[in-house]
Structure 1
Amino acid sequence: MIAAWFSKAATPLIIAGLMLLAAALIGWACLATFDRLVSEARASTKAERDAHWTAEIAKSEAETQKLIAERLKETIAAQEAARAHVASVEAQLAQLETDNAALPNTDACGLGRDRVRLLAR
């Protein structure tokens, strides 16, 4: 009789315990799934953000390289113009020296009329 009474009283407790255990397992599974979804969303967002900033950095570097190339072209053009000007001045100086050497060497004191004309050019 005690065994019958015990089994009659224990059966609802066992069922309630199993139901609580099942509810706890389902809750734990829901939390694990939610945590996994949050982790995936976080990883996806981080990858998108990294890709965005990588593209921004690449764009900025491309603009910088383009600007450097333009400045280099400008520098080379200015350098060539300066070289051409220096070569022109050197050619004029060489011509002046040649013209000066071609003038007669007289015993006149000071500058002669031909040398003054040469300097006036």
Structure 2
Amino acid sequence: MPYQDVFVLFWEQVKQSIQEGRFAKLTMAKTIGKPDLKNIFVRPLSSEGGFKVLVKLRYQSRETEDEENELTLEEAFVFLKSHLRTSFTSVLLFTTTKDVTFKINKKGAGRITENSPTFRDVIQPKPDLE
């Protein structure tokens, strides 16, 4: 199945884990080539205006500062999807009940696997009040 279709199924699990309060974090890993962008992390944010996530871009070089953005879930989906197969080939969803991994193979097919949970608790960072 094309990775885009599988990623939509994977994202349904992300949304369900959020609705059930089990979402701990999400990580994009397995970079393609040697890019400066090392990882993308997504964590839940406690927000008064509805559910938001903190998206953090971590770079290889120490000269480049990490970037952080507060996004809605839909904005995060579009943002992460744009980095699939251009920068990253895997996305890991960590929940309190299971870890779910989305991977893209060399032929462009996606697949989802599940493992035992890494996290027991959900930790929500407070948004910056600047």
Scaled by the length of structure 2, the TM-score of the pair is 0.15
Structure with a larger share of its residues in helix: 1
Bigger Rg over Cα: 1
TM-score of the aligned structures, taking structure 1 as reference length: 0.17
